[in-house]
Structure formats: structure tokens, C-alpha cells
Amino acid sequence: MCQNSGVVNMGPGEVQVKEIDYPKLALGDRKCEHGVILKVVSTNICGSDQHMVRGRTTAPSGLVLGHEITGLVLEKGRDVEFINVGDIVSVPFNIACGRCRNCKEGKTGICLNVNPARPGAAYGYVDMGGWVGGQSEYVMVPYADFNLLKFPDNEKALAYIRDLTLLSDIFPTGFHGAVTAGVGPGSTVYVAGAGPVGLACAASCHLLGAAVVIVGDLNEERLAQAKSFRCETINLNSDTPLAEQIAQIVGEPEVDCFVDCVGFEARAHSHGGESEEQPAVVLNQAMEITRAGGSIGIPGLYVTEDPGATDAAAKVGSLKIRFGLGWAKSHCFHTGQCPVMKYHRPLMNAILYDKIKIADAVNVQVISLKDAPKGYQDFDKGAVTKFVIDPHGMIPI
């Protein structure tokens, strides 16, 4: 039997690469004939993983992390008809059965059958069904025919793997945030957050034809990365109000579309020069600077339980937002997991036909599996990098 190693959450502030079980085509005691076993080609460290590692969720110690997976099919169940051994595939981070009402409506982020606790599931994530994560050498994926995106050519897939690896989550998630915010030709857009999802969203806004894409963040290095692909930027450490800074760029203190790529660990600049945690600050900024009738996309993560929150209300996901302002301005809010399958095929084509260089936009850096703990540490310190783990040395240099 092949050995397997994976990145394991050891408790707040610590991950380790440990020996884990080699995957089986099984769901408990039942054979999983609709699943496949993958040799992991690439798997990425996500900001959502960091929430768990920081102790900001109820994720247990011992959880194998990783929901961004691209892999080579090694074995398949007898019910898998259209995916074959030897295919290289992208794995949506949402696990979806393809059979329930929500899946049939395209709402694969809230599948009703893959998580007994709530709608929606993901690999290696707290409260998302207990599925083993894919920051590992090998992983099992269920409902393969429905979930997996097969790349048309393995050789070309490996040549573009730094870009294609982002199809499992952050590229569709950023794109989804832009789409749900109503971004289109000629739009003015504000993207809150210049982490990997925010950068992927900003690049997606350009792909959708936005006239002006403004990215705001507290990290000057991340803002420099946004500037590298034609974004306007706002350093939120400034004492100048956000609306005034918006007006300096577009001539008025508001934008057509707003995308929250920050989520519940949002921080705000204080007059003392430090940033303090304010979990609702981005949502309130969204209502302030989005024009009346505009839309607000919220791909940034918000949770129902946050043990490390600054107040009792936030510990259970209750935030102080000025919802009356949003109502008065007839804003449209769109929240929740991105339904990756809605977007990953056309975004794959955009990559393969050189319409976007998404790996350059988010500054992909390839690391080995053994270096994953250091990748987590560097990312937590604000590294302007999307860390992509290469467990088997398959990614071309």
C-alpha cells in the first residue's frame, strides 16, 4: 500500500506534515463506487485554512487540511463513467452530490446530501461534513462524474498548472464575487482586500470589462501587487475617509459595484496608527460607498462560531451592520460559498487560451509538501503570495 502524508491542523498556530491513511474508495463502511482516488498534482494554501489554524473556528486538532485540489486519477469506482484513470482534473472545493434539489438548480455550494450538519461541504474544513482534506499526496473524491473538471490535454494542463490549480477555489470565488456584484463593461468597482481572493477578484473584474478596478487594503506590498496588473489602489492606513479617496479616483465618492474579499477577520485603521479588529467594517463600508441600486458581492468568509472574536455577539456571527443604509439605497447583497462548477469550465478556457494570467495576478509560489508549515507561517505574516503545494514534484520548473 502506498504511503500518504498530509498537512494536519495541530491546534491554534500550528500545522504539521504527518503520515495519514491512504485513501479508500469508501464512505464509512460502504464502498464508494462513484468516487476516485487522486494523486495530488497541486494543492493550495487558502486564507480560509488560516482562519482554522489561527483558532478562529471550532476546527478540531487532527483535521487534515486542504480544499483546493488538482489531481491525477489513479483509481475509480465502477459507477464512474466519464472520468478515466490517467486524467488530470480540477476538484471544486464544494463537494456536491449532483442529485439533490440544490445541485440540480446549480447551487452546488449548498448541496443537501453531503454534510449531515448543514447544507454544503468541503474537503478538510470545519463543519463541512468531515471530509479528509487534500493538502496531501493522495485523496479520495466522491461523485466524480459530477464534481470533476477534466482538462482536455494533460501535457498542456501541466504547462499551465500554476494557473489551472486556482480553478479549485480562488479564481471562481473571485469571479463569483465580481459577477454577483454586477461587474460588467464600464463598471467602477471597489474590491476590499488584496489577499489572493481579492487579487483574483480584481483580475476577474478586468476580464469582465470593468472600467476602473480599485483595491483597498492595509498591506502596502499587497497593494503593489494589485498595481502590477492595472488596478487603482487605496491604502486604508490613510486618515482620509474611504469615500474621499474613491472620489479622487473616479470623480465621485461611490462605485457601481463592491466586493468584500475580507470576511470576518476584518481590521480597520485606527487614529493611533494601528489596525484593530472590526468584523463588520467592510460590510458597513460597502453600504457607504456603493451607489444606490448597486450590488455587493460577499465571497469573504463569515462564520457562525468564532471563538477568537472581540465581543460576545461576534462569537456567534452576530455583527453590527448598518443595514438600514443598505435598505434605503436598495442594495443587493449576495453571500455564501461560490458554486465553483458554475464557472470553472469557462475560466479554464480563459486560461488555456491566454485571456488571463491569473497565477501572475495572485503571485503563485510553488513549494514542497514538507515546506507547507513554513508557507502557513509566511502567509499568516502577510506574504504577498499564493502558496501552491507540489507533493510529488510534478509541476514544471
In this prediction, residue 275 carries a pLDDT of 80
Backbone angles phi, psi at 19, to 5 degrees: -70, 130
The domain locations on the chain are: 5-169+339-389, 172-335
Cell, residue 171: 479564481
Quick: pLDDT tens for 76-110: 999 999 999 999 999 999 999 999 999 999 999 99
How many whole angstroms separate alpha carbon 394 and alpha carbon 37?
17
Query: Residue 45 — pLDDT band, cuts 50, 70, 90?
Result: very high
Average pLDDT, the chain: 96
How many whole angstroms separate alpha carbon 257 and alpha carbon 191?
9
Q: Which CATH class is domain 172-335?
A: alpha beta
Determine contact, residues 298/197, Cβ cutoff 8 Å: no
| Angle at which helices 220-227 and 196-207 cross, to 10° | 20
Quick: pLDDT tens for 228-281: 999 999 999 999 999 999 999 999 999 999 999 999 999 987 655 678 899 999
How many whole angstroms separate alpha carbon 14 and alpha carbon 93?
23
| Fold matches, 5-169+339-389 and 172-335 | no
Backbone angles phi, psi at 306, to 5 degrees: -135, 90
Contact residues for 302 (Cβ-Cβ < 8 A; gap 6+) = 263, 264, 317, 319, 335
Cell, residue 193: 482586500
How many whole angstroms separate alpha carbon 171 and alpha carbon 73?
23
Single out the residue of 157, 156, 161 nearest to residue 358, CA to CA.
161
SS3 state of residue 314 = helix
Cell, residue 272: 493611533
How many whole angstroms separate alpha carbon 304 and alpha carbon 321?
16
**Cα angle 122-123-128, degrees, rounded to a multiple of 5:** 45
How many whole angstroms separate alpha carbon 389 and alpha carbon 345?
23
SS3 state of residue 258 = strand
Q: How many CB atoms lie within 10 A of CB 183?
A: 29
The residue ranges of DSSP E strands in 28-67, in sequence order, are 30-31, 36-44
Determine contact, residues 106/342, Cβ cutoff 8 Å: yes
pTM value?
Answer: 0.96
In this prediction, residue 2 carries a pLDDT of 74
In this prediction, residue 270 carries a pLDDT of 63
In this prediction, residue 217 carries a pLDDT of 97
Tell me the DSSP string of 104-129: HTT-GGG-SSS-SSSS--BBT-TTTT
Determine contact, residues 94/343, Cβ cutoff 8 Å: no
Single out the residue of 123, 114, 20 nearest to residue 67, CA to CA.
123
In this prediction, residue 272 carries a pLDDT of 58
Query: Residue 1 — pLDDT band, cuts 50, 70, 90?
Result: low
How many whole angstroms separate alpha carbon 230 and alpha carbon 51?
30
Q: How many CB atoms lie within 10 A of CB 117?
A: 10
Q: Is the pLDDT of residue 65 over 70?
A: yes
How many whole angstroms separate alpha carbon 386 and alpha carbon 270?
28
Instruction: Tell me the average pLDDT across 44-64.
Output: 93
Q: Which fold has domain 5-169+339-389?
A: Quinone Oxidoreductase; Chain A, domain 1 (3.90.180)
How many whole angstroms separate alpha carbon 53 and alpha carbon 61?
9
